[in-house]
Amino acid sequence: MPIRLRKLLGTFCLLVLVAVWALLAMALAQIMLASTNSLIAWLYYVVAGLGWVVPAMPLVSWMSRPDPNRA
């Protein structure tokens, strides 16, 4: 697969990943953090806000691989 196509597909997948991650994090926060301390809520949002990076790393790595057909 050419690198340009990989980057295009990867960009769309990253956008979907971030949108779904944000929606799930907000839904989980509504369930779990309704009556908690503000410090705990703040820590949750920091971890949830940065948590999408871990599943995105293999996708970014795949996107940036060089073309096998290029010399």
DSSP character string of 27-69 = HHHHHHSTTS-HHHHHHHHHHHHHTTHHHHHHHHHHHTPPPSS
Q: How confident is the model at residue 2 (pLDDT cuts 50, 70, 90)?
A: confident
Report pLDDT digits (tens) over 3-51: 899 999 999 999 999 999 999 999 999 998 888 888 998 999 999 999 9
pTM as predicted: 0.81
Distances (CA, A) of 37 to 5, 34, 44, 71: 46, 9, 11, 58
